[in-house]
Structure 1
């Protein structure tokens, strides 16, 4: 089972654990603890009566056992003690992960040079609105993804998987990518050459550019040996809104959908191949690398 699959099920696992430990915690606070108290009061009353009887018979009773008996009778069973300890921790983690920030691990090189394999990133879950946990249904809308945002979303081919790409087009946009040059709504991207990028995983160099179109500015990679055309795109929903030829493609993004592309343009399986991402599949906006075990210098904000 992959790391991302585990993360995909982690929300459900947390939810089940929270509900289970929460039920036990509430049951203990409002019922079981009272029963233990009642049983302890009866047992201590019987203890006191026996002690009083011994005194009446002229026998000096042992007074040291009462507190030990009380502690034993009031002590929570192990299963209740552990549930009570875990419940608030699990509840806080579930709340933070569901409504605030969620961690993800970058599994591929499709977002090079911005994100590297092994980057552990944080995703802002509330930037685009409040979504119900588990089902990922938007309950409160706040903002919409903007061109240039790096977004985590459910993979349209398999919603149990999470992908991360950059938003290139929003609903109504016309996205054209021909001969490895991007145009959005008729505005042609400007490309500033940068030093070649060394991919340490593949031990190969790629051409690196600073791509700028409108307010959108970020680094991309191009492979001179890769073709400009898109081989074998899927018959995805709204496929008729795209046209493909040997130079590239052109797509008009349907309303309520987004067109995603990886920064590693010639090594990214993205909307060019499997189509548009519906708003319901959006998870959140990536904004910070909090750890990379292979390179701690990676820690910091991302664009």
Structure 2
């Protein structure tokens, strides 16, 4: 249902607007003409006049909801849209239960149905946390951190991220650069029985934290492979981006399914507007989707 929400919103907005417009241009003048004719034949009561000019229920409903849903359509399609974080692939930056605000105009204004770009407003930058349509199934929204830009070569080996920036000529071209990181702590988070190591990573101008499971070997055999490129290296094509989760060993991302097309980009995650805890025990009488608490300390911008 969520995958078709934009289409449903457009259809409801269009339908209610057309009904209201048709009434204003066609049926309302006819009702007023009927009232005028009735009054010319003699005085009529206010009740009779109100009955003659009364709007049909569908027109009254359309007139009431059109401004509201039109505002929601514009807001959601071109400005900001709320999303919920359903998994831990972006921990510790984003946790399950975080509700984030996505800036829809960050990567171009797109129509809400066919997603054709109408106006160029910007492109993803290295380090952005981006929402996009999952390339394997575009009905699903994914969120990852952009680490590779068009023309870059990304290498992921032994829990380390390397970037060879795009270069048009052989002059001043850089080789692979190890993305620097510093240890924060261990044992704060766990993946099953395994403690995760937390680092602060410096990705261009963006400083953010990541989690690494040092007990788990990299699943190199499952990595996406391009023709003529060693497994574990990824050459980002033009018009595409490479996204990876901050929870490096608990994220299905570009390492496994490839690249993010520009046309699949939804927007940039810019803030957490509310965050709920869902730590209800199995014997609780309340359903698991009811929050157990609010994490006010998580409200704010996303880095």
- TM exceeding 0.5: yes
The Cα of 1:191 is off from its aligned counterpart by 1.4
1:12 equivalent in alignment to 2:7: yes
Q: Which runs of 5+ in 1 are unaligned?
A: 1-5, 49-64
Deviates more, 1:223-232 or 1:179-188: 223-232
**Any conservation in 2 of the 1:187–1:213 contact (CA below 8 Å)?**
no
Aligned twin of 1:301: 301
Q: Which has the higher helix share?
A: 1
**Correspondent of 1:258 among 217, 241, 248:** 241
1:240 equivalent in alignment to 2:238: no
Output aligned runs, 1:271-282, within 5 Å: 271-282=254-265
Aligned twin of 1:182: 161
CA–CA distance in structure 1, aligned partners of residues 223 and 90 of structure 2: 20
CA–CA distance in structure 2, aligned partners of residues 92 and 203 of structure 1: 48
CA–CA distance in structure 2, aligned partners of residues 83 and 199 of structure 1: 51
CA–CA distance in structure 2, aligned partners of residues 31 and 13 of structure 1: 26
Aligned Cα root-mean-square deviation (Å) = 1.9
CA–CA distance in structure 2, aligned partners of residues 183 and 173 of structure 1: 10
C-alpha distance 162-242 of structure 1, shift in aligned 2 (>3 A): farther
**Any conservation in 1 of the 2:223–2:257 contact (CA below 8 Å)?**
yes
- Normalising by the residue count of structure 1, what TM-score does the alignment of the two structures yield? 0.85
CA–CA distance in structure 2, aligned partners of residues 109 and 67 of structure 1: 64
The Cα of 1:242 is off from its aligned counterpart by 4.0
* Matched position secondary structure for 2:146: strand
**Correspondent of 2:102 among 111, 123, 136:** 123
CA–CA distance in structure 2, aligned partners of residues 128 and 205 of structure 1: 37
**Correspondent of 2:66 among 77, 83, 87:** 87
**Correspondent of 1:292 among 251, 260, 275:** 275
Choose 1 or 2 for highest CA Rg: 1
- The count of aligned residue pairs is 275
Q: Which runs of 5+ in 2 are unaligned?
A: 165-175, 278-293
CA–CA distance in structure 1, aligned partners of residues 41 and 216 of structure 2: 87
- Normalising by the residue count of structure 2, what TM-score does the alignment of the two structures yield? 0.85
**Any conservation in 2 of the 1:230–1:273 contact (CA below 8 Å)?**
no
Output aligned runs, 1:121-270, within 5 Å: 121-185=100-164, 186-196=176-186, 198-199=188-189, 205-234=195-224, 239-240=226-227, 242-244=229-231, 249-270=232-253
